[in-house]
Chain A
Amino acid sequence: MTSLRGKVAIVGAADTEVGSVPGLSATGLCVDAVHRVLEDAGIAKSQVDGLVTCNSMAEPYMYHAEMIAEYLQIFPRYCISVGAGGGTTFSILHHAASAIVTGLCDTVVIAMADSLRTGVSKTQAMDMMASAGHPQFESPYGPTIPAFYALIARAHMETYGTTPEHLAAVAVNARQHAARNPRAQKREPISIDDVVNSRLIADPLRLLDCSLVSDGGAAVILTSAERAKDFPHPPVYLLGVGEGHGHEHISQAQSLTTSAAVESGRRAYEMAGLGPADIDVAGLYDCFTPVVLIELEDLGFCAKGEAGAFAAAGELGLGGTLPTNTHGGLLSHCHSGNPGSMFALTEAVTQLRHQADDRQVKDAEVALVHGQGGIMSSHCTLILGTEAGG
Chain B
Amino acid sequence: MTGTDGRNWPRPTPETAVYWDGCRDGRLMIQRCSACGHYQFYPRLVCTECMRTPVEWVQASGRGTVVSYTVVRQAISDAYAAQVPYVVALIRLDEGPTLMSNVIDGDPERMTIGMPVEVVFEAWSEDLTVPMFRACD
Partner-B contacts on A (CB < 8 A): 126, 129-130, 133-144, 146-147, 150-152, 154-155, 158, 199-205, 250-252, 256
Contacts and interface: CB of A to CB of B under 8 A. Distances in A.
B36 interface: no
Contacts of B1: 135
B100 interface: yes
Interface of B: 1-2, 7-13, 16, 41-42, 67-77, 80, 83, 86, 88-90, 98-102, 113, 130
A135 B11 contact: yes
A341 B20 CA distance: 39
Contacts of B75: 142, 144
Contacts of A151: 68-70, 88-90
A141 B12 CA distance: 16
B72 A202 contact: yes
Contacts of A140: 7-10, 130
A264 B71 CA distance: 32
A147 B101 CA distance: 12
Nearest to A249: B100
A144 B68 contact: no
A204 B72 CA distance: 10
A136 B10 contact: yes
B47 to A, nearest CB: 15
A251 B10 contact: no
A196 to B, nearest CB: 15
Contacts of B101: 141
A130 B76 contact: yes
A251 B113 contact: no
Given A141-B100, A251-B100, 15 more contacts: A126-B76, A133-B100, A137-B10, A137-B41, A137-B42, A141-B102, A142-B72, A144-B75, A151-B89, A154-B70, A154-B113, A158-B68, A158-B113, A200-B73, A256-B90
